[in-house]
């Protein structure tokens, strides 16, 4: 059996985070999104085919030609933008596991379906089927039809983009006709396969993590941090440090005296937490970063970022090579306490969250007393002026 991992798309809803890195390589709890799922499936396949396009070299340079001794090959997606263009022209005589990179699935769910002898599609019951591809099934969960974003209620089993097919799916993809919308539809390919072979809809039993928007990065990190059962201390903690929950401290990292940690935290290699830092509620700090005299809550700080002065930031994503000056403050909610609306792909959407943060991208430099309104982005290589308010 072979695995096909769909990793060609940019992930435009995650901009600016995907300006310089493809979405599959965004790290969640120290591993790229794509690697979390590979960890669960590599034992069941004899080859992994990763479909690439946007910034393909970053993925190729990370995995090279194998993942834990399973051969890895790459398929460059062509310029056709329809959904199944990702696997067009791939050739195989083996059964195929096809997995999208958008979500991180539970190990036990994937194990169960990978050992299932029939062909299947992974599904989940949803309260809003009108925004998904929805499977219609019989009493034994055999797929009868899949309909994309049905206007009237037909069922509530949403397509999760994880499948097991035989190799005939590749021929079907190459020969499906244009739909009424003048597109090559994923639904047409699945429906044709279900007409030829038994195809089961298997509902996941555990939670899964969908990383569709920037704020999902914080939710995903919190998901893993909340499951920590014990601390892992691989380097140095000085005296007079208060740790009230579980932490992971990687090699080369240090927590200095008078630091106060009151929830779970993950501190990666060679980072430094200096005196009077206050870490609250699921903080992730990556390589070679340093904070001091700072209060942070539910924050993901990436590599080579420095914040050595008094500052206060909640629920934010801070990328690489950022310098935070003294008295930087991020606001996390509106004055009227209503949900925060976010501009995504030129459309204003309701985040459904009352608290939301800022995103600070690579190589940003802030000056003293910068104030950032809820859900604002500071783009690559930008700098702020003293007392600047980012509205």
Identify the structural domains of the chain with CATH numbers, from first to last: 2-210 (3.90.550.10), 215-390 (2.160.10.10)
| pLDDT for position 212 | 75
Contacts for 193 with CB less than 8 Å, ≥ 6 apart: 119, 165, 168, 169, 172, 199
Task: Identify the CA nearest to 17 among candidates 267, 239, 238, 316.
Answer: 316
**Within 13 Å, how many C-alpha atoms sit on residue 48's CB side?**
27
pLDDT tens figures, 340-351: 666 666 666 666
| pLDDT for position 205 | 80
Per DSSP (E only), the strands in 77-132 are 96-100, 103-104, 119-125
Mean pLDDT of all residues in the chain? 83
| pLDDT for position 258 | 92
Instruction: Tell me the two tokens of residue 355.
Output: 């608290």
Pairing of strands 70-76, 66-67: antiparallel
- Calculate mean pLDDT across residues 53-60: 87
Q: Which long-range contacts (CB under 8 A, 24 or more apart) does 306-312 make?
A: 308/274
In the structure, what pLDDT confidence band is assigned to residue 93 with cuts at 50, 70 and 90?
confident
CB atoms within 10 A of CB 362: 22
CB atoms within 10 A of CB 246: 18
Phi–psi pair at 331, nearest 5 degrees: -95, 145
In angstroms and rounded to an integer, the radius of gyration of the C-alpha atoms of the chain is: 23
Task: Identify the CA nearest to 225 among candidates 21, 30, 7.
Answer: 30
Active site residue 309: yes
- Return the residue matching tokens 């935290």: 265
Helix (H, G, I), strand (E, B) or coil at 318: strand
CA angle 163, 168, 173 (to 5 degrees): 80
Pairing of strands 232-233, 119-125: unpaired
Among 36, 40, 75, 309, the active-site one is 309
> CB of 165 within 8 A of CB of 195?
no
In the structure, what pLDDT confidence band is assigned to residue 181 with cuts at 50, 70 and 90?
low
H or E element, residue 194? helix 186-196
> Which pTM value belongs to this model?
0.82
pLDDT tens figures, 268-322: 889 999 898 999 888 899 888 988 888 888 888 888 888 877 778 777 888 888 9
Percent of the chain residues past pLDDT 70, beyond the cut:
88
Pairing of strands 347-350, 328-330: unpaired
Task: Identify the CA nearest to 226 among candidates 255, 265, 184.
Answer: 265
């Amino acid at each position: 059996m072979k695995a096909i991992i769909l990793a060609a798309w940019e992930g435009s809803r995650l901009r600016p985070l995907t300006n310089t890195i493809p979405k599959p390589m965004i790290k969640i709890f120290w591993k790229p999104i794509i690697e979390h799922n590979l960890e669960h499936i590599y034992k069941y396949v004899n080859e992994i085919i990763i479909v690439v396009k946007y910034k393909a070299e970053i993925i190729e340079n990370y995995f090279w030609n194998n993942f834990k001794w399973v051969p890895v090959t790459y398929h460059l997606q062509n310029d056709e933008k329809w959904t199944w263009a990702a696997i067009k022209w791939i050739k195989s005589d083996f059964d195929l596991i096809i997995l999208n990179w958008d979500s991180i699935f539970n190990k036990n769910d994937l194990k169960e379906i990978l050992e299932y002898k029939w062909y299947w599609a992974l599904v989940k019951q949803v309260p809003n089927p009108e925004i998904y591809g929805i499977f219609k099934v019989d009493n034994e969960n055999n797929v009868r039809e899949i309909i994309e974003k049905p206007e009237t209620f037909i069922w509530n089993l949403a397509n999760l983009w994880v499948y097991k097919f035989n190799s005939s799916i590749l021929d079907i993809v190459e020969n499906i006709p244009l739909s009424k919308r003048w597109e090559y539809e994923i639904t047409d390919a699945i429906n044709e396969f279900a007409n030829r072979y038994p195809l089961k809809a298997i509902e996941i039993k555990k939670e899964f993590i969908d990383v569709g928007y920037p704020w999902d990065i914080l939710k995903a990190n919190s998901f893993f941090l909340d499951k920590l059962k014990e601390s892992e201390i691989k380097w140095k903690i000085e005296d007079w440090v208060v740790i009230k929950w579980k932490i992971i401290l990687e090699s080369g990292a240090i927590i200095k005296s008078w630091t106060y940690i009151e929830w779970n935290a993950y501190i990666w290699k060679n980072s430094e937490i200096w005196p009077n830092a206050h870490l609250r509620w699921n903080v992730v700090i990556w390589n070679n970063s340093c904070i001091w005299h700072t209060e942070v809550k539910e924050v993901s700080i990436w590599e080579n970022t420095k914040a050595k002065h008094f500052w206060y930031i909640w629920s934010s994503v801070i990328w690489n090579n950022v310098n935070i000056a003294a008295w930087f403050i991020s606001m996390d909610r509106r004055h009227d306490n209503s949900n925060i609306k976010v501009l995504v792909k030129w459309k204003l959407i309701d985040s459904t969250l009352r608290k939301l943060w800022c995103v600070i991208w690579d190589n940003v430099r802030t000056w003293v007393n910068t104030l950032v309104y809820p859900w604002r982005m500071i783009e690559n290589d930008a700098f702020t002026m003293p007392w600047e308010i980012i509205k």
